[in-house]
A and B are shown apart, each in its own frame.
Chain A
Amino acid sequence: MAASDVTTAGPDDRRARARAFIERRHRIRLGEIVPWLLIAAVFFIFPDRTTFGTQVLIAIMFALSLDLILGYAGIVTLGHAAFFGIGAYTVAILSARLGWGEPISMLFAAAVLAGIGGLISGWFLLRYRGLTLLMLTLATAVLLQEFGNYRSDITGGYDGVPGMEIWKLLGVFENDLWGHNYYIYTAIVLFVVFIVVRHIIYSPFGQALVGIRENVRRMHAIGSPVHRRLVISYTIAAAIAGIAGALFAESTAYTTLGVFDFDNSAKVMVMLILGGTGRLYGAFAGATIYMILEDEFSKAFPEYWQFGIGLVLVLTVLFARRGLLGLFEDVAQYFRRSKS
């Protein structure tokens, strides 16, 4: 059977098949509806947990922004919380100090400011790679945090910004006690952000990012403006992280300088590795599982909950190098093979 395939496959066949493969890569697959169905289902099945659900959605968005640079472009960073923090403080300062509390416009403001932060720091830092970059990104987040601490008259320091007043969504929907409206609001924003990221990943630009991840030397040799590509992707990721931070501040009406913590940068990386890097839905799986585990562990063992998270991460790195989604793929393939 296979042999006859080879003999009948003319050169045009091969070309058509190759073309079809590339052309279909970006098409939306049926399975891609699953995460969105789950997000919708949670709303109806756990109506009393939507406040927590909102935080999960925000974590997904934060992890998704990291996936764009870490998973696709191969930029390692331990300072991604810097942009989450800029987003959160944009909302905090606008609503508590400047008397503007309109949620949607604040998201835009947060995206722009975090994006500018990404553009400036990225332009300087993305000449470096590996450990150096890791340290420099970490330092950037610490610098921002310390600057916030220095001007605690504005930021409220580690006690948080008092008196944030977030207006009603579209002038109608309040952030109700159960957080229903904010769950829907966050889900919609996540969907929009996801569509943007998905487009970028399947664009020629996204392919170039993968090229940089796979072999930066060759990218230079084929004439790719590597630095520019990295800075653009970093800026976009920063803007998205900023939106996530803004949603966090809006939904909780509360922010402290803790958002800039190293913990926060490390956590989002752990989420992504847990789910699987460079696979778009890794952020969804990783952030959700991390948040649920953290919630359950902290209830079950209030003092040792981090041990549980650590254990899960060790198991992932040992037995599921490509993250949980990678493991899932491998298992599915194993069963498909053993069937045939």
Chain B
Amino acid sequence: MTAVLQIEKLNRNFGALKVTRDVDLTLERGARRALIGPNGAGKTTLINLITGGLTPTSGRVLLNGEDITKTSQAERARRGIARTFQINQLFRGISVLENICLAIGERTGACNNLWRPAGASAGIIDEAFGYLESLRLADDALRLVRELPYGRQRLVEIAIALAQQPRVLLLDEPAAGVPSSESHLILDVVDSLDPEIAILIIEHDMDVVFRFARQITVLVAGAVFTEGTPDEIKHNPQVRAVYLGEEVHGEQAAGQGATHHG
């Protein structure tokens, strides 16, 4: 198996707070890995470290064996790392189709052109429309993003990432904020993504995690707690205690806190 993305001994501190501790993680070609862990475990921070939105305090990030720890976020994106955001980060004032065209234009370098009309590139428009069709967004192609219902905006979020033709795709809670009656639409899309792309997904819904992932990494307090197949994770008593039993654990913690303060 060839590793597309490797993270070695990654650390990130915010002042005295260690948000990421000695994290090792590998994504092979076509990987389907879920990243789970309680709130505040540092999952989104880890994604930001991989994409270059944050620089690590120490450790390395490798893409296809090349060290990209010092590479800018934009350059990493051009080399094939794409992400979606937990809270939509879209170009709200322009049409859905143009959102996708923009991602393609930045990927191909078309956006360096100051003179030729954007509308003259039929190839880009056709490609963009292709992504919209595959995500069942074709009917909304010409609507402004801000006019779409939230669930459909979540699909645009994914469509932009796909238009980057990524080799590594990081999905940060793709169905967050979508009513459960609609979330299956998004999860179907996630299920049917190109098997060649290495995917890391952050997700809280365990049903989704166990259905989608072939590998699971459990992150607790910034460090890798354990990793394994869905079966192993499901039957790991420590994971059950720390994570799956989070609510019980949380209540206990709250109760203790209350007695301390009282």
Contact = CB atoms under 8 A, between A and B. Distances in A.
Interface of A: 11, 14-15, 17-19, 21-26, 199-200, 202-208, 210-211, 214-215, 217-226, 229, 232
Contacts of A21: 95, 97, 142
Q: Interface residues of A: mostly helix, strand, loop or mixed?
A: helix
B222 interface: no
A153 B63 CA distance: 60
Contact of A224 (B106, B138, B141): B106
Contacts of B163: 222
Contact of B51 (A14, A15, A202, A221): A221
A6 to B, nearest CB: 8
A208 B111 contact: yes
Report which residue of A11, A206, A215, A221 has the largest number of chain B beta carbons within 10 angstroms of its beta carbon: A221
Contact of A222 (B107, B112, B118): B107
Contacts of B103: 222
B147 interface: no
Residue picked from A23, A26, A205, A223, most chain B C-beta under 10 Å:
A223
A15 B117 CA distance: 19
A205 B111 contact: yes
Nearest to A219: B106
B118 A220 contact: no
Interface centre among B98, B105, B106, B122 (most CB of A within 10 A): B106
14 contacts: A11-B133, A15-B126, A17-B142, A18-B97, A25-B119, A26-B117, A207-B118, A208-B105, A211-B94, A218-B89, A218-B90, A221-B77, A223-B77, A224-B106
A225 B113 contact: no
B120 A23 contact: yes
Contacts of B85: 217-218, 221
Q: What is the interface residue range for chain B against chain A?
A: 35 or more
A223 B118 contact: no
Given A203-B118, A207-B101, 19 more contacts: A14-B141, A15-B129, A18-B138, A199-B117, A203-B113, A204-B118, A205-B112, A206-B114, A210-B91, A214-B94, A217-B85, A218-B90, A218-B91, A220-B73, A220-B77, A222-B77, A222-B163, A223-B78, A224-B111
B161 to A, nearest CB: 8
B233 to A, nearest CB: 29
Contacts of A215: 89-92
Contacts of B224: none
A226 B113 contact: no
B251 to A, nearest CB: 36
Contact of B74 (A17, A25, A223): A223
Interface centre among B82, B113, B114, B120 (most CB of A within 10 A): B114
A309 to B, nearest CB: 29
A23 B119 contact: yes
B114 A200 contact: yes
B13 interface: no
Interface in B113-170: 113-122, 125-126, 129, 133, 138-139, 141-142, 160, 163-164
Given A15-B129, A207-B111, A22 B119 contact: yes
Contacts of A26: 117-120
Contacts of B93: 210, 214
A14 B143 CA distance: 13
A140 B26 CA distance: 48
